[in-house]
Amino acid sequence: MKTFAKTISILLMLLLALSCSKEETLLPPGDELTDVLKKATVIDDEIYLCGKMLFDVVAPKEKENKVIISSDWMYLDMYAKLTPDPDKKGHYTLLTREWMPDPSFEYRVVEYDARITPGGAVQFFWPGTDKWWESMPIPFDNCVEQVITHTGVDVHGPGVNKGTIMFEGYFKDGKFHAGIHLSGLQLYVPEMEIYWNGKDPDVDPLPFIEGPVQLEFMMEMEECEYSDFPWEIDLPF
């Protein structure tokens, strides 16, 4: 039964994708993308970035395109360090530190292996390395399992592959933008109450959110000074 439900979820996502207009992408498709990513961007030294990790979740089939989560009020303060990898041409170590704004505490630290092209196109996978820490113990084998557990949504998308999720975006004129776009149907009871959508999981049947759920997680940062964040705080890994 679970396999059948998952198959239906995938088919509905394909129909939804076909019904939507084609959006522009910052990165070229297929072999062109591979060729572009082979070129190296010249960043001579460490770069510090400051901004936010933004979260948006909407349900288009719910009444009035219901907003489940808005980045107006759901975000984490983010600080990052981008360092050229001397051993891998065109690769950079992206160390991100995410903080809850109120009350303030360090929520998550991740180190990514990022690729950046001369034109500024950015691509990396979460998790791209084994350096991934969260303030709450991580009882998950991978980040896809974490998203499914939190939301109850059986997520799909072009960047979901073997337990990893791909971020894509750009780094240009001192501004760094990278995001993931996921969608799926809510097939499981979510761990986070906000995804109950006002329902009672002990009484109401699934799904609590009708139709496909669209999730966007976005890093929005710009260059800043080393002094804008207390980098002397020890890393948790």
Tokens of 186: 């809510």
Reply yes or no on whether the pLDDT at 9 is more than 60: no
How many other CB atoms are found less than 10 A from the CB of residue 130? Answer: 7
What pLDDT, on a 0 to 100 scale, did the predictor assign at position 179?
A: 96
CB of 99 closer than 8 Å to CB of 105: yes
Helices (H), 45-202: 143-151
* Dihedral of the alpha carbons of 208, 209, 211, 214, in degrees to the nearest 10: -140
Reply yes or no on whether the pLDDT at 8 is more than 50: no
Q: Pick from 126, 182, 179, 188: which is nearest to 155 by CA?
A: 182
Kindly indicate the confidence band of residue 170, based on its pLDDT and cuts at 50, 70 and 90: very high
CA pair distance 41, 118, nearest whole angstrom = 4
Helices (H), 86-156: 143-151
Kindly indicate the confidence band of residue 21, based on its pLDDT and cuts at 50, 70 and 90: very low
Express each pLDDT in 24-77 by its tens digit.
344 445 555 455 444 445 577 899 999 999 999 999 888 766 999 999 999 999
Kindly indicate the confidence band of residue 13, based on its pLDDT and cuts at 50, 70 and 90: very low
CB of 142 closer than 8 Å to CB of 164: yes
Reply yes or no on whether the pLDDT at 107 is more than 90: yes
Q: What is the percent of the chain with per-residue pLDDT over 90, rounded to a whole number?
A: 60
Task: Give residue 98's identity as a one-letter amino acid code.
Answer: E
The answer to pTM > 0.85 is no
φ, ψ (nearest 5 deg) of residue 2? -65, -40
SS3 17: helix
Sign of CA dihedral 39, 97, 148, 179: negative
CA pair distance 123, 16, nearest whole angstrom = 25
What pLDDT, on a 0 to 100 scale, did the predictor assign at position 42?
A: 57
CB of 228 closer than 8 Å to CB of 79: yes
Helices (H), 104-231: 143-151
Tokens of 168: 């894509």
